[in-house]
Structure 1
Amino acid sequence: MQDSEREHREESNIESEYEQLARGIFGNGNIYPPVQTHFTTESRNCGGCNTEIHYGRYLTCFNASWHPKCLICRACNQPIYDNEFSIFGNYPYHSSCYKDYNYLKCDVCEGNVITNYAGHVGYMTRPFFMQKICTSHIHDGTPICFSCERMESRERGGYSDLYDGRKLCLECKDSAIMDTKECQSLYIEIQKFYENLHMNLDLKIPLLLVERQELIKVVERINNGNNDIFEPRGICLFSEKVTINTITRGPEFETGNRASSIRTKPRKLTRRPCGVTAILIVFGLPRLLTGSIIAHEMMHAWLHSDEGYHGLSDEVEEGICQFMAHMWLEAKRPHYESKLWVFFKFKIEQNTIPAYGDGFRAARQAVYKYGLHQTLQHIRTTGNFPF
């Protein structure tokens, strides 16, 4: 089963790596006390212009003396007469200028990431794309793309509503596959990918796109009502008989990027001679992600069509299926740099669910060392990866 691991939205701890990053960006960010004004008849050099201060009024800060006109805010180039000022990179700033000039900007609201009562920077980052986000957006309903997991920028907006609780960013929506018919050419392409590896499958296994709730319902039925680990995006069915509501016409997007209702049709399915009933994929995902899920589920079908692979552990079966999804993505390397392509590979490589993440890494290590077919033969014989 293909998974979408739920990203836990946690506020950063005081000593977290994110705050350390923020400190590295900000410098110390200290607020300094009022500038001290003095009068002198002694000679000393100005910390700004480095010329001699002969007599009269001068300022002291940074363990140096300054002409009043030489203590200049690096942001606005105006003298600092405020009661407080800030330091960044050994340069002085008006406190207000420091916030505008140096503060981390939130990628959602594009405001300054503020400090908490203790003076610590409180923000979170989205994995891979490294969006920097105010912690307040964790609970304020800011849309998150179901595919790439980026939060919507309020300035740019444009996320589409798939009516079932999912949102899609413009980049993911651009290649999203919305109904069963639209997906068939991609299915044929991945069948040929398997054929080129000399891993032929029953070409009559149905591939159906379904609604989110339909897929969740099927998974819960298989797992006796238990599906609290992750949200499924695809599944390979082995039921003897089942009726599935498949999408025959995808949504159209109305004003405001909200999807209209879709058209579905019940389809009665029976198990094929190979032991597989159908492959189900949730609709509305971009082509690359949809293809990687199909490649994953087709590997389940390939394994279950040979009795020698029955009874594998979750780590071995899910691991080799994840490897095939990753292998297909590698074969689809775009001619130009595609962040989505890199991200979908990244999600497979960094998956933290043991059966999927550890399984993939073990499968990749085995295939790189022994080759795909020798690895598969070893799995068939022993039920484990070769090491």
Structure 2
Amino acid sequence: MGWLSKIFKGSGHKVSGRQYDWRHGTDTVENEPSSSGAIMDARSEIEDIDRAIAISLSEADQPRKNVIDNDFQLKEDEQLARAIQESLNVESPPRYGSGNIYQPIPLSYSTGFRICAGCRAEIGHGRFLNCMGAVWHPECFRCHACNQPISEFEFSMSGNYPYHKSCYKEHYHPQCDVCKHFIPTNAAGLIEYRAHPFWAQKYCPFHEHDGTPRCCSCERMEPRDTRYVALDDGRKVCLECLDSVIMDTNGCQPLYLDILEFYEGLNMKVEQQVPLLLVERQALNEAMDGEKNGHHHMPETRGLCLSEEQTVSTILKRPRIGSGNRAMDMITEPYKLTRRCDVTAILILYGLPRLLTGSILAHEMMHAWLRLRGYRTLSQDVEEGICQVLAHMWLETQIASMSGSNVASTSSSSSSSSSFTSSKRGARSPFDRKLGEFFKHQIESDTSPVYGHGFRAGNMAVLKYGLPRTLDHIRLTGSFPY
């Protein structure tokens, strides 16, 4: 046998080549072996052979002993290997969608001491899942949304919680606020949607081109399950804005007095009585065309300060809301403007919420104040900019007044007299404050060179030097102080 020959060779080399000197305790090498040394060598060689045979028999017996001792462990290892091989042979289902998708690893048998991460009980023999860095009973691995076991090959995760893919989509896939459907993916497989910069209303991109109407005041799109109120000129008003709209000239008079009081509080009292009229869009456009020295106006004109004598059609009686959420039976009458001073009237578009109507009125009142005080012709950005500053200041006072006692309006949004009564009592709905913040945001974020840049330059001057000094500088130089 090979291993025996190696032992023999080594033993022979060791025995024949080296001896132990008991007198000095060192190994010595003899140059010439003696006869007595040969006898001792023969005896030592026989002893070495016996020792080698005993060692070899002991080593041969050791693996067999280990096999017997570890027989149970080997059986379990074979079972585990067979289970893993079977799980690898199972064809994985096709993947679809994107996101945090994971595949639990099913095992048929457990080995050792394992604790289920769901019920915290020991997992005995049988099937279990190995996923999310833990092991689970199949019935304990449940969806965080519906609390039902997850039996599919794939699941989604949010944070440290597992979800069915369908439940994950229901909770986390964005839905369109207009059509109420899940927002589809684009050609690149990404979820693409539009969102209003202030209201955060999410909607499918194609709604911008499919004729979906917007509220004429808050700009939110009309949801499919809600009907906005249609005005005679084609504009639509959402039900929240409708709760505070001003629909006729008489209904606007309390707000007009509030604006006059606001100006008087700034030591900018308007001495002349300037008529205020609520008009339709067509009448507003016709009056704007009749102005000889017209000022710069936005594409959607909602207010106008007139200086010429002309006849305009004003709304005498507010319309009622009829079937199909349409404004009906509005009564108008002609109103002849007489020039008694540099300002003949202020016209405001009807059908706008109180806060928007008030900010427009504050803006146009500043035009009137500048003309009545003899300010020379100003550049568009300076005049429109300082008028926007006054509108912004008025909105701030209204929002501040609602911060302390925000009384919810109990009037119905479909009631024809709710807006006038609410404004007269000073009651405000919870939506009013948000609406005021939106109108203020519109002024602040306007990107137009005249209204937007003009406001920011004027507001910076007022914040730095105060309103009186800014107005004095405008009178002298025709520009904002820097």
TM-score category, normalised to shorter length: 0.7 to 0.9
Assess, with a 3 A threshold, how the Cα gap between structure 1 residues 380 and 226 changes in structure 2: closer, same or farther: closer
Shift of 1:368: 2.2
Q: Which residue of the other structure, out of 320, 323, 329, is the alignment partner of 1:252?
A: 320
Task: Name stretches of at least 5 consecutive residues in structure 1 with no aligned partner.
Answer: 1-27
Q: Which residue of the other structure, out of 362, 365, 371, is the alignment partner of 1:298?
A: 365
1:372 matched residue in structure 2:
467
Shift of 1:284: 0.7
Q: Which residue of the other structure, out of 74, 78, 84, is the alignment partner of 2:154?
A: 84
Shift of 1:299: 0.5
Shift of 1:231: 0.6
Q: Structure 2 length normalisation: TM-score?
A: 0.66
Q: Deviations over 1:226-258 (max 9, x none)?
A: 99952111011233x322222222211112321
Q: Structure 1 length normalisation: TM-score?
A: 0.80
Q: Which residue of the other structure, out of 191, 202, 213, is the alignment partner of 2:260?
A: 191
Shift of 1:300: 0.7
Shift of 1:287: 1.6
SS at structure 2 position matched to 1:322 = helix
Root-mean-square deviation (Å): 3.1
Q: Deviations over 1:341-378 (max 9, x none)?
A: 22222222222223222222222222222221111001
SS at structure 2 position matched to 1:232 = coil
Shift of 1:315: 1.8
**Distance of 2:265 and 2:100 partners within structure 1:** 65
**Distance of 2:262 and 2:295 partners within structure 1:** 34
Larger helix share, 1 or 2: 2
The more displaced of 250-259 and 37-46 is 37-46
Assess, with a 3 A threshold, how the Cα gap between structure 1 residues 36 and 221 changes in structure 2: closer, same or farther: farther
**Distance of 2:476 and 2:380 partners within structure 1:** 17
**Distance of 1:228 and 1:326 partners within structure 2:** 17
SS at structure 2 position matched to 1:354 = coil
CA contact (8 A) 1:237 1:277 kept: yes
The more displaced of 91-100 and 31-40 is 31-40
Q: Deviations over 1:8-29 (max 9, x none)?
A: xxxxxxxxxxxxxxxxxxxx96
Determine if the alignment matches structure 1 residue 313 to structure 2 residue 382.
no
Determine if the alignment matches structure 1 residue 93 to structure 2 residue 188.
no
Q: Which amino acid is the alignment partner of residue 283 of structure 2? A: E
2:394 matched residue in structure 1:
328
**Distance of 1:283 and 1:76 partners within structure 2:** 50
2:34 matched residue in structure 1:
none
Q: Which amino acid is the alignment partner of residue 301 of structure 1? A: A
Determine if the alignment matches structure 1 residue 285 to structure 2 residue 352.
yes
Shift of 1:220: 5.2
Q: Which residue of the other structure, out of 142, 149, 159, is the alignment partner of 2:212?
A: 142
Q: Deviations over 1:47-93 (max 9, x none)?
A: 73476666544445446654433432212222222243222223221
Assess, with a 3 A threshold, how the Cα gap between structure 1 residues 199 and 171 changes in structure 2: closer, same or farther: same
Runs of 4+ in 1 over 6 A off after TM superposition: 223-228
**Distance of 2:250 and 2:298 partners within structure 1:** 30
Q: Which amino acid is the alignment partner of residue 233 of structure 2? A: D
**Distance of 2:292 and 2:200 partners within structure 1:** 35
The more displaced of 285-294 and 74-83 is 74-83
The more displaced of 47-56 and 183-192 is 47-56
Shift of 1:216: 3.0
1:170 matched residue in structure 2:
239
Assess, with a 3 A threshold, how the Cα gap between structure 1 residues 115 and 174 changes in structure 2: closer, same or farther: same
Structure number with bigger Rg = 2
The structure with higher relative contact order (CA 8 Å, sep 6+) is 1
Task: Name stretches of at least 5 consecutive residues in structure 2 with no aligned partner.
Answer: 1-96, 407-429
Determine if the alignment matches structure 1 residue 360 to structure 2 residue 455.
yes
